[in-house]
Structure 1
Amino acid sequence: MVMLVYFLLLALVVPGVATPLVTIIVSRHGIRTPYPPGGEGNLTKESMAQYTTKSFPPCWPPGPESSGVWGSSITAGLTPHGGEQIRLMGRWMGTSNFSGVSCDDVAVYADISSSRDNETATNWTLGAFPTCKALHQEEVIKGDAKQVLFNDGSNQELCGFQSSKVIQSFLGGGKYEALLNAWKSQIQLVDSVVHCCSSELCPGHLPCNLSSLPIKYTGKFWAATEGAFDIAVFWAEFFLLEYLNGNPQYAQGQLGVSDLVDLYRMAVENIEIMDDHFASRSFESTMASHILGTLLQAAERKPIPGLSHSQNTKVVYMAGHDTNLILLRLLLGLRWQSHGWAQNGVAPGGMLIFELEQRQEGGPVVSIYFQVAQPAQLREGQPFSEPQAPSRVQVAITDCPGDPFACPLDAFKKMVISKLRPECIGIPALRDLVENHGAGSVPWPAQYWWTFLLTGLAAFLLGAAISWFIKKRRSSSLSSGYSSQELTS
């Protein structure tokens, strides 16, 4: 007993032991049913027929006849298996990270224009805070109907994308041979499964396969092109979702998990063509300023206008899109490598976590983590445990002038503000916050005007003191009775 008390006291005085102030979780929605080719309309067998010449089983695509396989007939809707996976992740985090957090200290945000995001939020809180019944209702979600906070490029009222000329430069220009060749092996692998395409898609081109499908620039916020690359991305995501959802058959039984993970890189690349570094400042400045405001509010313990949660909030959960995670990564200059996924992968249920801790020596510091279940964990749907925990990797804050794993809040604030475009922040009060704290973006001489003033005043006073001292010495010498000639001899 004495030893136990000793170690408890030791833990309280060891330098560097941190006390959490707030945790912000920016999460992608859980496993969903696929979008249709091209990303618009409903997913039907008829809409898919032109992209394959094979006869697929009833689970292709999800619909009323195959709801027993997918669990849902809604296009791009959260599946029951996906909802269960989010609850399991919430349960793991609630036990591991938030056992001491009360119901009143949790805030939930979501893109309420998306039912799957609402369902993701309520499933997570059901797992993380099972006794907090109010948190399990969509009515408590702090919404973002105009997609200002969870902007994926669909809201361009304040800021937009770069010119088509800039975006096409990322594609290699011309007839997009560079894009096609860069992903040639993946496109051919997809085609070996689906045997694309119907002759109407490539008139005059024989054979009509996925590689010969013409690529055209569209500049849609969810995809820059249509044709070979975009359709290959559709199938790659379809195969992965089949596997993750636990469907008995995936990719016609012809591909392994490593193939699915590799093909999914195309989906991330496809998003990043439009949602690049330029777009991150246009569409993620609001989200980043909201995160910064939450950190400052928790540290200063006083309300910050523009936030819909109080300074006492300990956990902020934000259910959004893969796009939000990608844009935040690009905006803040982050990168991660999770178990089971390609670098910077943003699999369903993946989350970027910001933690603010109060160090016993020094002020508050910010740490960032990326957390996601591994592919097999998502498919099997087993509860997490210590031996089978989700992948959680610490993300280096590369532009922090201090410790990249424990960045001082003041340094983090200056870093974030330097990357934002205030005119793109869709919440006026947060725009004011950034502008009022934006001294770090002012040119160096103007930023430190007070330093020049004090330095000048100090120099003046020092000069006056030296002058007085010299005059005093001269006066003392003359009063000693020596002549000037004697003093210099």
Structure 2
Amino acid sequence: MNVSLSRLARLGGPLLSVALGLSSPLTAHAQDEGHYVLEKAVQVSRHGIRPQTDTAKLVEATQRQWPTWLVRDGELTGHGYLAASLMGAWQAEQYRQAGLLPAGCPQNGTLYAVSSPKQRTRATAAALMDGMFPGCGEKPHASAQSLDPLFQTDKMDFARVDPAIAKAEILTALGGDLQAAKARLQPDLDLLKAAACVEGKPCPFYDAQWVIKQNDEGRLKIKGLDKASSLGETFRLQYSEGKPMREVAFGHAADAKQVMALTRLHRAKYDFVNDTPHIARRGGSQLMNQLRLALEQGTPLEQADPLGNPPAAPLLVIVAHDTNLSQLRTMLGFHWTLGEYQPGNIPPTGTLAFERYRDADSGERFIRTTFVTQTPDQMRHLTPLNADNPPLQADFSLPGCKVTQVGTLCPLKDFAERLNTAIDRTALTAYRYP
């Protein structure tokens, strides 16, 4: 579904936006002037900036050495920690202005933060808490196990995909023919080769045949495209980290726009594999079910799920991976294009936020769904976020939703039914929060 694409405006509610390209604020276009009270917020964030997850594979793919980082492969960097804390500070300020959070430290029972067990997600959750509640010592929760059914769902037996269905949907996304799709993307492969490989020397990723494969965990990928995707994502992470431009894409990019052009094959990986309906539903239903239950808490729709319910805190912070967010986005039908990023891109610390409002006059409840992210340069330069330097943002909309002074609001009952319909209940398992 279409969204209003936005940068945040200086307005009186949380996470407010103006449509990109419009000169007047959102309130000038509001269809409804009700008095809306923010009752609940659930946000799902990607982890912050990290290095590549496997340097050896990048070396193998390009036959050249890659710039070093100050942390181990796949771990949150110090720069990434600071960037995430800036995002947390901005988010908390919006929620305080809306009355969801008090000034200072959170009161008991008002906050629950949980992350994937990976180091980069645990560290990002800590950074968000430091930014939101500096000096308060808030500790996010995480499972002691290496696989958590809320986050590593697509690696676990209860949510395995049907290979035949998944492969058929991948082929449909490809346009029916894998090699024809590769040919269409040849200009992007050429651009990436020019940045990643040394002229006149072997370039294995570029010469690799594209093949649809399934690994031992049941996950599907397009071998060949997956390496190209990793190269582009690593270049983007180098830029966000603030590395010298001579190191970013080996000096083959001058600014954020040129770096993001090198991520088109990263986008293609999601278009062709991660965002296909069957793969997204199998991997995303567990998390989406918890989101639905959380948004219904404290309303007539609230229910006890035999598989377990989330903590009943006004603010639920979940720190996950871009795979998790892409699954939710696909199940919702939420599409965005923001700033220099590729369409649908989920940058480090990019956040999918669900806010529940109550109309103080009618008592009716609504959901605002928004995706918010720092710009590449805000991350690179560690720019504090405020009304003069807001993050990028997009609102989700459906027929029956309305534009208001607090954003695009969809009736809670209709939104909850949309989530419930999207969920594959055969891909759920019992869950207890750590």
Distance, in Å, in 1 between the alignment partners of 2:238 and 2:167 is 36
Name which one, 1 or 2, has greater alpha-carbon Rg: 1
Relative distance call for 1:300 and 1:374 in structure 2 (3 A) is same
- Measured after TM superposition, the shift of residue 179 of structure 1 is 2.5
Relative distance call for 1:167 and 1:414 in structure 2 (3 A) is closer
Q: Which has the higher helix share?
A: 1
- Measured after TM superposition, the shift of residue 428 of structure 1 is 6.9
Distance, in Å, in 1 between the alignment partners of 2:125 and 2:85 is 9
Query: Is the contact between residue 63 and residue 203 of structure 2 (CA under 8 Å) also seen in structure 1?
Result: no
Distance, in Å, in 2 between the alignment partners of 1:210 and 1:145 is 30
For the pair 1:411 / 2:408, whether they are aligned, the reply is: no
Relative distance call for 1:222 and 1:82 in structure 2 (3 A) is farther
- Measured after TM superposition, the shift of residue 142 of structure 1 is 6.6
In structure 2, what is the equivalent of residue 427 of structure 1?
Answer: 430
More displaced stretch, 401-410 vs 417-426 = 401-410
For the pair 1:191 / 2:193, whether they are aligned, the reply is: yes
Distance, in Å, in 1 between the alignment partners of 2:67 and 2:223 is 20
Q: Secondary structure at the match of 2:50?
A: coil
Which amino acid is the alignment partner of residue 259 of structure 1? Q
Distance, in Å, in 1 between the alignment partners of 2:400 and 2:153 is 30
Relative distance call for 1:161 and 1:81 in structure 2 (3 A) is farther
Deviations 1:233-269 (A, max 9, x none): 2221121111111111311211232122122232233
Map 1:79-228 → 2, pairs under 5 A: 79-98=77-96, 100-101=101-102, 102-104=106-108, 105-112=110-117, 114-133=118-137, 135=138, 137-138=139-140, 140-141=141-142, 146-151=147-152, 153-163=154-164, 165-169=167-171, 170-171=173-174, 176-195=178-197, 210-220=205-215, 224-227=221-224
For the pair 1:328 / 2:328, whether they are aligned, the reply is: yes
For the pair 1:358 / 2:358, whether they are aligned, the reply is: yes
Query: Is the contact between residue 52 and residue 198 of structure 1 (CA under 8 Å) also seen in structure 2?
Result: no
RMSD: 2.8
- Measured after TM superposition, the shift of residue 307 of structure 1 is 2.4
Distance, in Å, in 2 between the alignment partners of 1:28 and 1:224 is 21
Q: Secondary structure at the match of 2:84?
A: helix
Q: Secondary structure at the match of 2:290?
A: helix
- Measured after TM superposition, the shift of residue 429 of structure 1 is 9.7
Deviations 1:373-411 (A, max 9, x none): 001111111212221111122222x3x545482111111
In structure 2, what is the equivalent of residue 18 of structure 1?
Answer: 36
Relative distance call for 1:53 and 1:286 in structure 2 (3 A) is closer
In structure 2, what is the equivalent of residue 478 of structure 1?
Answer: none
Distance, in Å, in 2 between the alignment partners of 1:283 and 1:143 is 21
In structure 2, what is the equivalent of residue 298 of structure 1?
Answer: 298
Distance, in Å, in 1 between the alignment partners of 2:199 and 2:74 is 23
Q: Secondary structure at the match of 1:394?
A: strand
Which of 74, 77, 80 pairs up with 1:76?
Answer: 74
Deviations 1:404-423 (A, max 9, x none): 82111111122221222222
In structure 1, what is the equivalent of residue 29 of structure 2?
Answer: none
Query: Is the contact between residue 192 and residue 232 of structure 2 (CA under 8 Å) also seen in structure 1?
Result: yes
- Measured after TM superposition, the shift of residue 277 of structure 1 is 1.1
- Measured after TM superposition, the shift of residue 370 of structure 1 is 0.6
Query: Is the contact between residue 47 and residue 320 of structure 2 (CA under 8 Å) also seen in structure 1?
Result: yes
Query: Is the contact between residue 267 and residue 342 of structure 2 (CA under 8 Å) also seen in structure 1?
Result: no
Relative distance call for 1:271 and 1:151 in structure 2 (3 A) is farther
For the pair 1:268 / 2:267, whether they are aligned, the reply is: yes
Relative distance call for 1:165 and 1:357 in structure 2 (3 A) is closer
Q: Which has the higher strand share?
A: 2
Relative distance call for 1:262 and 1:218 in structure 2 (3 A) is same
Which amino acid is the alignment partner of residue 30 of structure 1? G
User: Which sections of structure 1, spanning at least 5 residues, go unmatched?
Assistant: 1-13, 37-42, 63-69, 200-206, 431-489
Query: Is the contact between residue 161 and residue 282 of structure 2 (CA under 8 Å) also seen in structure 1?
Result: yes
Query: Is the contact between residue 224 and residue 273 of structure 1 (CA under 8 Å) also seen in structure 2?
Result: no
Query: Is the contact between residue 293 and residue 302 of structure 2 (CA under 8 Å) also seen in structure 1?
Result: no
Deviations 1:447-482 (A, max 9, x none): xxxxxxxxxxxxxxxxxxxxxxxxxxxxxxxxxxxx
Q: Secondary structure at the match of 2:369?
A: strand
Deviations 1:280-319 (A, max 9, x none): 2212111111111111113359784522412xx2211000
Relative distance call for 1:336 and 1:319 in structure 2 (3 A) is same
Relative distance call for 1:150 and 1:429 in structure 2 (3 A) is closer
Query: Is the contact between residue 222 and residue 271 of structure 1 (CA under 8 Å) also seen in structure 2?
Result: no
In structure 2, what is the equivalent of residue 390 of structure 1?
Answer: 391
Relative distance call for 1:131 and 1:187 in structure 2 (3 A) is same
Distance, in Å, in 1 between the alignment partners of 2:128 and 2:414 is 32
Q: Secondary structure at the match of 1:393?
A: strand
- Measured after TM superposition, the shift of residue 208 of structure 1 is 6.0
Distance, in Å, in 2 between the alignment partners of 1:107 and 1:165 is 38
Q: Secondary structure at the match of 1:19?
A: strand
More displaced stretch, 246-255 vs 401-410 = 401-410
Relative distance call for 1:144 and 1:287 in structure 2 (3 A) is farther
Relative distance call for 1:127 and 1:377 in structure 2 (3 A) is same
- Measured after TM superposition, the shift of residue 271 of structure 1 is 3.3
| Larger RCO of the pair (alpha carbons < 8 Å, separation 6+) | 2
Query: Is the contact between residue 103 and residue 132 of structure 1 (CA under 8 Å) also seen in structure 2?
Result: no
Number of aligned positions between the proteins: 380
